[in-house]
Chains A and B, each alone.
Chain A
Amino acid sequence: MSWVDVGPENALPARGARTLKIGSLQIAVFRTGAGEVFALRDHCPHRGGPLSQGIVHGSRVTCPLHEWVIDLKTGRATGVDEGCTPNFPVRIVNDRVEIDLPASAEARVAALGPPPFAVCERA
């Protein structure tokens, strides 16, 4: 695991998200209305929709494709839907956002799948 600087905190819109592409891995970095920052694989556990494009409310995001609501803290689908997307530890250092990315090939494979239940906790 290694901490990677992805930019200043204020580059993230409140109640919004931006994306980050590392290799073939698309990551969504969210900032909530309360100012918390989360990083998830940008891939809805339902049909792979880009979560980064959804509406952020509380500490949740609604997928723009079919309205699954994903908990940003856990990556899990909420309500009666079942599934999860891998999430990555985030820390703020001197107003900059750092994400702990999986360093090994095993972790990366684990982070990518197989869906839907393989990796529900930290990638």
Chain B
Amino acid sequence: MTQLLEEAVSTVHSRRKKLVLVGNGMAGMRAVEELLALAPDLYEITVFGAEPHGNYNRILLSPVLAAEKTIADIMLNSREWYAENGITLHAGDAVTRIDRARRRVVTAGGFETTYDRLILATGSMPVVLPLPGKDLAGVLSYRDIADVDRMVEAAQSCRRAVVIGGGLLGLEAAYGLQRRGMDVTVVHNTPNLMDRQLDAAAAALLRTSLEARGLKFHMPAQTSALVGEERVQAVRFADGSELSAELVVMAVGIRPNAALAKASGIACERGVLVNDTMQTYDPRIYAVGECVQHRGACYGLVAPLFEQAKVVANHLAEFGIGRYAGSQTSTKLKVTGIDLFSAGDFTGGADTEELLFQDAARGVYKKIVVKNNKIAGAVLYGDTVDGSWYFQLLRDGTPIADFRDNLLFGQAHVGDSGVAGAGSVANLPDKAEICGCNGVCKGDIVRAITTKKLFTLDDVRMHTKASSSCGSCTGLVEQLLATALGGDYSETPAKKPMCPCTTYTHEEVRTTIAREKLKSIPAVMSFHEWKTPDGCHKCRPALNFYLLCAWPGEYEDDKQSRFINERAHGNIQRDGTYSVVPRMWGGVTSPQELRAIADVAEKYAVPTVKVTGGQRIDLLGVKKEDLPKMWKDLSAAGFVSGHAYGKALRTVKTCVGKEWCRFGTQDSTGLGIKLERTTWGSWHPHKVKLAVSGCPRNCAEATIKDLGVVCVESGYELHVGGNGGIKVRATDFLCKVATEEEVIEYTCAFLQLYREEARYLERTAPWIERVGLTHVRTRIVDDAAGRRTLHERFLHSQRFAQVDPWAERAGGKDAEEFAPLSAPAGASERVLQ
């Protein structure tokens, strides 16, 4: 029996294809992990690593050198992990030859194995300057655990160290050695430290604060030789001067390690050449990480490597749809207490402008390079809170004209005020609550990041739930990631798929729905090769809305793809009951209506009756099976659904206006009712609230609504993109119009633009911040013909949307949704015995 089982197992194994990974580093293993997540059983995987360990986080070597972390802290995958995942690991045995004709690899130790697919992830080598004396004892480079061990050992017996290279790696090495008690001088060949990342001003600030920490600098200086008999004793410079040194660390850069690929006849230049699918010249061989040269660029930072790893995994899993299109990179220095951020083209040129902020007393310096109304680069020193925001704007190519005035002051000053106080996240105590929705504290997040080896925002969301609900703490969580990982974490990629079921973005899917005339959820999924049979709770509601918006009157709503609130036409409460909010046009009611509501509340023993912020009455705690009966009674009294449960037009809030108010300038109540009569029933990417105030005193709070009308003597001001929820955001002024008819036309056009362009679950406020107010103004105010078309499309869609869902269901539609199955007689007694 056992034998039979073993044979069966080995047959299964032999049918699996063989994947060999050469290089047990971060990029290669990330590709393997991504592959295991996509297709766990497709390959029999063998990993070769030259270093004799499991896989570790190379980014965090600097904190290890500085004695702020231990090697154990930075291990990513233990040997047990490889065994648990059925991966054969050969650590400490480097692959020396790839025999491509026979598809096999040979190691230094003489081991051989064959492959069907191979991933080259051989990483990079430190550049060693061809100086006399470079081979003396005490001369090290800075690349792996062994180098760190040697430096730590040297720090115990030696006193004077010289680090050649004032770049990122050199400064981290120098700081680490200094923390280990050495007297460290950094030698650099130009006048500016980190000249690939910093401009002169920021470099000077950096030098000053590093000097304050005890580091010395000798620059600009050209090293000409390393002096010594067996062990290095001094560094000699081109001008003949010398600096005594018992330890010399060369940290002048890295170059891709392409030797194995070259020797195997694979096309290489600086690195191993790959196409957008990360395949080398030999299509069975992929390459990923620092050894790669893609579209002329080689990368030495972790975020691009992870993006590449995703693409490799996607192709190895035979999905065949991922493409790597190159990365923009940003840098942070991992020296405790120094905040420094740099991204993109920070020097600029003839066609760029510079925005500068300098506060010498606080040690803050910010420079943003702007080209054609977009951010081309940024250097931040002392205050890097907004680094990830600037970087996102840079990668997305967001036009900045609308908030250029406040750009240098950061995201908190452009209306996104929910993240106020973010600057001090690193200084917060562990029990400070970061995610208010899910009650997650800073300590929980940092612990999850370090113990569970998390690298991305999505990882943190999955493991801690922080930032996974309303998202307002996303900036804080990103900063915690940056702080905990030393700043070099994998930031959210610019191209964000709708959900894990697909690699396509919301925009791509919507474009294809229109172009290919896709008219059902299965059609969309099959065209885009969805990875799951019927999607998930994230993509299905989004697709349902996109189809509804694209094909009004044609698309048949899929109720099983709607969130329960929209399926049951009530808001689900924490105890599983529902709430019922009848529509009150413009917030106006009558004794007769109130009487009908009171009757219904009594008849169905509604436990709580409450007035809402949107000027409605909320009946809370209704049993699901009572809903249709209640709706029938409410319909009879003339009510329709208030859509208080939907990603839909919710309410139009009004003040009393000139009919009663001594300050009123227009009939705000009447206009509000007209607006609500026109727009009710419309489905949107998220909830939409409108308001009309009769004068600038703004009693209807129109300036925190998705669209607010403020009446003035001479007409109507239209304000858009406000939000009184998670992040309070006051509206932006759109324009002023003269008549009620114009108010309605502009409102409908604005709502239709939002319906057509915003991503599902994106409210008007973040949508406007993403696309820019200028864009909205151009489409709604400047382009009169376009506005009218949008208005017409909205009205067309309303012809099919303005059907009261309550009346339909009171009449018997979807009856099974509201009726429980009936248990057979006696079942209850049997079970209860």
Contact = CB atoms under 8 A, between A and B. Distances in A.
Interface in A96-114: 101-105, 108
Interface in B337-376: none
A23 B831 contact: yes
A40 to B, nearest CB: 14
Given A18-B820, A20-B823, A101 B830 contact: yes
Contacts of B824: 4-6
B462 interface: yes
Nearest to B536: A57
B821 A7 contact: yes
Given A4-B823, A57-B536, A64 B563 contact: yes
Nearest to A8: B821
Contacts of A5: 824
Contact of A65 (B462, B567, B574, B832): B574
A80 B463 contact: yes
Contacts of A87: none
Nearest to B461: A80
A93 interface: no
B764 interface: no
A11 B560 contact: no
B535 A23 contact: no
Interface string B501-541: 00000000000000000000000000000001111110011
Contact of B832 (A23, A53, A55, A67): A23
Interface string B174-185: 000000000000
Contact of A15 (B534, B572, B816): B534
A62 interface: yes
Contacts of A79: 462
Contact of B537 (A13, A21, A55, A102): A55
B828 interface: yes
B537 A53 contact: no
Given A11-B821, A29-B821, A80-B462, A22 B576 contact: no
Nearest to B814: A13
B763 to A, nearest CB: 19
A101 B534 CA distance: 30
B827 interface: yes
Nearest to A25: B831
Nearest to B537: A62
A103 B819 CA distance: 25
Interface string A12-52: 01111011111101000100011000000000000101100
A88 to B, nearest CB: 11
Contact of B572 (A53, A57, A102): A53
A101 B827 contact: yes
Nearest to A47: B574
B628 to A, nearest CB: 15
A23 B823 CA distance: 10
Contacts of B560: 13-16, 55-56
A102 B828 CA distance: 11
Q: Which of B533, B560, B821 has the most CB of A within 10 A?
A: B821
Interface residues of B, number: 35
B669 interface: no
Contact of A20 (B535, B574, B821): B821
A23 B833 CA distance: 10
A4 B827 contact: yes
Contacts of A83: none
A92 B540 CA distance: 28
Contact of A57 (B462, B535, B819, B822): B535
Interface in B652-708: none
Nearest to A6: B821
Given A58-B533, A80-B463, A22 B828 contact: yes
Contacts of A86: none
B532 A57 contact: yes
Contacts of B561: 15, 55
Interface string B797-833: 0000000000000000000110111111001101111
A62 B819 CA distance: 21
B401 interface: no
Contacts of B462: 79-80
Nearest to B562: A55
B564 A54 contact: yes
B564 A53 contact: yes
Nearest to B625: A19
Given A53-B564, A103-B830, A62 B533 contact: no
Contact of A55 (B540, B574, B822, B823): B540
Given A11-B821, A18-B816, A55-B563, A108 B572 contact: no
A69 B462 CA distance: 12
B105 interface: no
B163 interface: no
Interface of A: 2, 4-7, 11, 13-16, 18-23, 25, 29, 33-34, 47, 49-50, 53-58, 60, 62, 64-65, 67, 69, 79-80, 101-105, 108
6 contacts: A2-B830, A11-B821, A19-B820, A50-B576, A69-B537, A103-B830
Given A6-B822, A53-B564, 4 more contacts: A22-B831, A58-B536, A64-B564, A79-B462
